[in-house]
Structures are given as structure tokens and as C-alpha cells.
Amino acid sequence: MGTLWIGTNNKKKRAELERILLPLGVTLRMPDQLGAPFDPIEDQPDFAGNARVKAALLARLAGAVALADDSGLCVDALDGRPGVLSARYGGPGLDDRGRLLRLLDELRAVPAALRTAHFVCSLCVCGPDGAVLAAIEERCEGTLLTAPAGEGGFGYDPIFVPREFAGDATRTFASLDAATKDRLSHRGKALRALAGRLPALLRG
């Protein structure tokens, strides 16, 4: 089909992208293959803006078509936090586990009926000049547990139960097999929406 650069340094996110894109026959290339630093500044107020910044930077550096995603968790009881700060919530001293525990602490007094949340994934594809070729945003609704469950996934996956499994605390994103997570997740939905457009985008 062609070559597509992927604008993420997150290995677990890469794996999700590869599961859906590689079967399409596209060749994926990553920022560590650039031979130049890829360090986008994610300072936009929304997911779409950050995805655009990352895709445009990578496309210009690679001189080729590039895809980037920006995603995160929006919690209703916290007025949408952590939102675009999901990967940096609580400051640079926290890892994935630390951010998850911080979020749980903020939600300690929130009853189960009000622990609603959704994941958002915004995708952007840019051409070699940095111009936007496609933009797609999808979401996945669910609820948050009071303690982590499951060994898979990353980020806030261990406390997020998608709406399709509401009431079953054993069915967090971190507990689901890859195929089921890809079918339900915000990122899986966005990538499938993009898949049919990729051949034309890569042909230019």
C-alpha cells in the first residue's frame, strides 16, 4: 500500500496501531528511524490540536505522510480531567501507575453511579509539507473502578470498564484480549474509520 510514519514513542501504543494497520499492507516507520530528534510540544487545548502538532512535525522531518494520535481519559466527576494531560497528569515525577493512583485518590469519595468517563482518540494524517490530509476523532464510554484490575494495556486501562461490560469489574481494558479491546476502544474505532482512506492518502 505504501509507507506511513507513526508519530509516537509509546511502545504499547505502537503495538495497538500495528495490530490494525499492518494487516492493511502498509509499511510502518517510527520516529526512532528518523535519525533526527522527534520531540513535539503538546501544548494544544484539545486532542485534535495535539495530534495535528505531532503529525505535522513528523511529516516534515520524514518528508513523507505521517499519522499521529492524541488520546486520553476524560472523567465526568472531574470536569473532564485529566483530558489532554492524561499522559502527564500529576507532573513529571509520576509514571503510569503513579498517575492512575493519583486519579483514584481524587475519585475516592465519588460513588459508583457517578464514576463515568470516556476515552478519546484523535487521529491526524499530514502530508510531507505538514498539511492536514485527514482528521478523525472517536471515543469509548465507560466507568471507573476503585482499584486496578488486569495486567494488560497501559495508562488508565486497569480502572476503565467499557460500557459494553458495565457492572463487570473483571472486564477492564487491562483485562481484555487484544482483539476485544481493539473492537471497543477509542483508538480501534478511529483507526478503522481511517483504514478505508489510507490507500488514497498514501498515493497522494
Catalytic residues: 70
Whether the CB-CB separation of 162 and 141 falls below 8 Å is answered with: yes
CB neighbourhood size of 155 (10 A): 24
Whether the CB-CB separation of 102 and 78 falls below 8 Å is answered with: no
How far apart CA 54 and CA 140 sit, in angstroms, is 22
User: For strand 2-6 and strand 66-75, is the pairing parallel, antiparallel, or unpaired?
Assistant: parallel
- The two counts, helices (H) then strands (E), for the chain are 6, 6
* Beta strand residue intervals within 36-144, DSSP E: 66-75, 116-126, 132-144
b/e 164-186 (16+ beta carbons within 10 angstroms → b)? ebeeeeebbbbbbeeebbbebbb
* Beta strand residue intervals within 54-204, DSSP E: 66-75, 116-126, 132-144, 160-162
